[in-house]
Amino acid sequence: MSTTLTQPVKPWRINFKQAWPEIVGAIAALILTYAIVNVSPLKGKLGFVVTLVFVATFVAAAVSWVRRDRKAAFNSISTVMVYIAGLFVIFPLGSILYEIIHRGIAGLSWGMFTRDMAVTASDAPLSEGGILHAVIGSLYIVALATVFSVPIGLLTSLYLTEIKGKAAGTIRFFVQAMSGIPSIVAGLFIYAIWMIALGNQYSAFAGAMALAILMIPTVARTSEEVLKLIPGDLREAGLALGGTQWRTVAMIILPAAQSGLITSVILGIARVAGETAPLLLTMGGADAVNLNPFNGNSSAIPFYVWKNFSMGTEVSIQRAWSGVLVLMIIVLIFFSLTRFLSNRKGRF
Amino acid sequence: MSTAAPTLPPKRVITTKPRFSDKVFRAVVTTGGFSSLVILGLISIFLLTNSLGVFKNEGFKFITGFDWIGPQPEAGLPSQYGIGAMLWGTVVIGLIALFFGFPISVGAALFLSYYAPEWLKKPMVLVIDVMAAIPSIVFGLWGFFVLMPHAEYWAKLIHKYLGFIPIFDVPAPAFTRSPFIAGLVLAIMIIPIITSISREIFAQTPLDRIQAAYALGATKWSMIRSVVFPYGRGGVIGGAMLGLGRAIGETVAVYTVLNIVYDIRIEVLLSAGGSVASMIVNKFGEANPEEVKALMAAGFVLFLVTLAINFLANIIISRTARKG
């Protein structure tokens, strides 16, 4: 017994007969661009790319117009434009990541994580000094900011999804607006309340409070999205078993939403780990390790980058790039963690 | 086995009165829920009380004036604070950012929704999310060392061929650290915001209308023009406003690539511009207590403006999202 397998037919697949005008058009566009770039004063890769964009759009439009009509020509133009827009989104990220690795790797060494800048000038050779003080400062401020913002963010999201009080709409609205507060304003506010009104000095604690203000809306909004996904059945089941609302939320809702809530916290950390502006107003910036987060100037990785960039010497800029590389690695680790957690199946 | 009559447990009292634990729970959660409102209120109060004196002294000139002179006790001159030039500069770089960022973002959102092959969608959404997570100081350094040399060359080209238009004129040959370059960096920073919001809105376009358009023989572009754009217009505008809000409040990235000059200029290619947020960082280092209060006032204005923009944007977006 033999069965004959019929090959699936794909009539929508573009065959050569339909495609040849486009192929010819593409080749013509390339040649034309090359010619224009050689003749005109436009130079370099950029000139080539810009000319190619215009020529390609023009040729694509011309081909469609000849083959079909004006509408098809507009369709071709818009298609080319939309593809270019897509490219423009990918290109900067590629360039940023490439340059960070390319320029930052030279100054990177294990030794830099064991030394601070207390006795090292910014333009001393790279074998001296390091970012230990900045790493410790960053750990302090991120940990403290998480401690401050997670309870508030979580309670806000619980209020919005579980209690659904009269003010829920207003609060949701204000939390959304709060996520647009410029980071410098958060820094100014902490300066006004913590330094001017209460008379304290610069400290990691103050920096952490400024970051917490920026972190609360992120945590609150993403947690709300997560809690919204918990089926109402679970809540009703909890109440039907005789549980109070408190027991239902604590024993059923929160465990069910666990991985999503962790994701929201990490998202908040990724949001604030690289913030610079509020730290400039609240942390003072130190060159030595400061183990006391409540008193005295301290540094953080973004602050370290900022300081070395401002010095402007060759070595200090190299230090700044290495700092950026470390910062990006940390941010990307947190970012991948959120992806990993939210992609796990079987959880809300 | 005892044969004694089973003793029934006492009847449970069923009541709708909340238990004590629930009362505590609801009280705690409600307090937590209101704390963001409290924080926003505290921000307004503290910034306002610190800046009241400056507002009183300067009056309306704080907004319109464009001199920023700290106290000079030895010269006997009064201090003067005005953020007019900085506000103007902020508007200029915000508009430049939108000019470049908005079309690219909407195009990219269209690409993701209607053009991209299936395998490309996920990686590209990832790219946009990663871009949204990059810290602003990274954009600042990249803008200064990588983008600036290129942008300087483009600026010279624009000046050479379009220099007769007043805004592209350059009185002195200084092309670095211009509003144009700051706007370009901001454009890249706001692309992820506008793209992701536009994409969400485009995804809500009713499928039946899209298919109706195709059935009537529309090309992809005609379909987008007659179905997607009218439906999503509000959301896209709201997204652009959120992007503008981010651009206005951006501090560090702008500070690294912009030369802050207290002057109202329309030449966007010239190495002189302003931004309220960056000015605060710029002046904060050497400011005495009085000048710090003036900076608080500038921060308060910035706070109000961004809050208003965000309010408006969120209203527009939620209206669009509900319409379908």
The complex's ipTM works out to: 0.89
A75-89: per-residue pLDDT in tens? 888 988 898 899 888
Count of CB contacts below 8 A, A vs B?
276
Say what the pLDDT of residue A2 is.
65
B293 has a pLDDT exceeding 80: yes
**Is residue B69 domain-resident?**
no
Please count the other Cβ atoms lying within 10 Å of the Cβ belonging to residue A46: 13
Cα B3 to Cα B6, B7, B8, B10: the distances in Å are 8, 11, 14, 20
Specify whether B52 is located in the same domain as B156. no
Q: Which of B21, B108, B313 sits opposite A85 (nearest CB)?
A: B108
Superfamily of domain A132-343 in the CATH hierarchy? MetI-like (1.10.3720.10)
Nearest CB to B219 within list A75, A213, A280: A75
- Which residue on chain A is closest to B104 by alpha carbon? A85
Tens-digit pLDDT profile for residues B194-211: 999 999 999 989 999 999
Q: Is 90 exceeded by the pLDDT of residue B223?
A: yes
When CB atoms are compared, the residue of A174, A276, A335 closest to B40 is A174
Distance from CA of A276 to the nearest CA of B (A): 7
Q: Which pLDDT value is given to residue A194?
A: 92
- Structure-model confidence comparison of residues B260 and A348, the more confident one: B260
Does A281 sit within 8 Å of B284, measured CB to CB? yes
Q: Are residues B199 and B237 in the same domain?
A: yes
Residues of B in contact with A273 (CB under 8 A): 135
Helix, strand, coil % (nearest 5) of chain A?
75, 0, 25
Mutation to test the A interface, candidates B26, B156, B185, B219, most A Cβ within 10 Å? B219
In a domain, B137, yes or no: yes
Are residues A93 and B34, on separate chains, in Cβ contact within 8 Å?
A: no
**Alpha carbons within 13 A on the beta-carbon side of A125:** 2
Check CB contact under 8 Å for B141 and A320.
yes
Q: Tell me whether residue B185 is in a domain.
A: yes
Distance, in Å, from the CA atom of B163 to the CA atom of A311, rounded to the nearest integer, reads: 35
pLDDT above 80 (res B73):
no
CB contacts, 8 Å: B256 with chain A = 309
Based on the fold, state whether residues B24 and B105 are members of the same structural domain: no
Average pLDDT on B60-76 reads 76
Helix crossing, A258-272 with A314-343: angle to 10°?
A: 170
- Whether B29 and B145 map to the same domain: the answer is no
Residues B29 and B117 in one domain: no
The alpha carbon of residue A158 is apart from the nearest alpha carbon of chain B, in Å, by 7
Average pLDDT on B161-169 reads: 85
- Domain count across chain B: 2
CATH for B298: 1.10.3720.10
Q: Does B36 touch chain A (CB under 8 A)?
A: yes
State the average pLDDT for chain B.
88
Shared domain for B105 and B174, answered yes or no, is yes
**CB-closest option in B50, B114, B144 to A196:** B50
Return the pLDDT at A344: 67
Query: Is there a domain that residue B3 lies in?
Result: no
Domain residue ranges of chain A, discontinuous segments joined by +: 16-106, 132-343
Shortest distance between the Cα of A96 and any Cα of chain B, in A, equals 6
Q: Is A304 in contact with A279 (CB distance < 8 Å)? A: no
pLDDT of residue B2: 55
Helix axes B84-110, B276-284, angle to 10 degrees: 130
Q: Which two tokens stand for residue A75?
A: 């369709």
Distance CA(A272)–CA(A262), nearest Å, equals: 16
pLDDT of residue A42: 65
Closest residue to B251, CB basis, from A175, A183, A216:
A183
Gap from A188 CA to chain B (nearest CA, Å): 7
> How much is the pLDDT for A348?
47
Residue of B93, B120, B124, B142 to mutate, testing the A interface (most A Cβ within 10 Å of its Cβ) = B142
* Whether residue B138 is found in the same domain as residue B224: yes
Q: pLDDT (tens digit, 9 = 90+) per residue, A22-58?
A: 788 888 888 888 888 777 766 666 777 778 888 888 8
Token pair 């092309």 in the structure block, residue: B175
Question: B276 and B150, same structural domain?
Answer: yes
Give per-residue pLDDT as tens, B26-50.
999 999 999 989 999 999 999 999 9
Q: Is there a single domain that holds both residue B33 and residue B132?
A: no
The percent of residues above 70 in pLDDT, for chain B, comes to: 96
Q: Which of B33, B35, B248 shows the shortest C-beta gap to A160?
A: B33
State the smallest CA–CA distance between residue B155 and chain A in angstroms: 13
Residue A346 has what pLDDT? Answer: 46
Domain that holds residue B52: 20-58
Task: Please name the residues in contact with B118: beta carbons below 8 A apart, sequence gap of 6 or more.
Answer: none
Question: Residue A96: its pLDDT value, please?
Answer: 94
More confident residue, B14 or B258: B258
Distance from CA of B287 to the nearest CA of A (A): 12
- Residues B121 and B42 grouped into a single domain: no
Q: Which residue ranges in chain A fall short of pLDDT 50?
A: 346-348
State residue A27's pLDDT score: 86
* B44 and B128 in a common domain: no
Same domain, B216 and B183: yes
> Residue A5: what pLDDT?
77
Q: Is residue B138 part of a domain?
A: yes
CB A245 to CB B50 under 8 A?
no
In a domain, B11, yes or no: no
Instruction: Tell me which amino acid residue B192 is.
Output: P
Residue type, A127: S
In the prediction, which pLDDT does B226 show?
A: 92
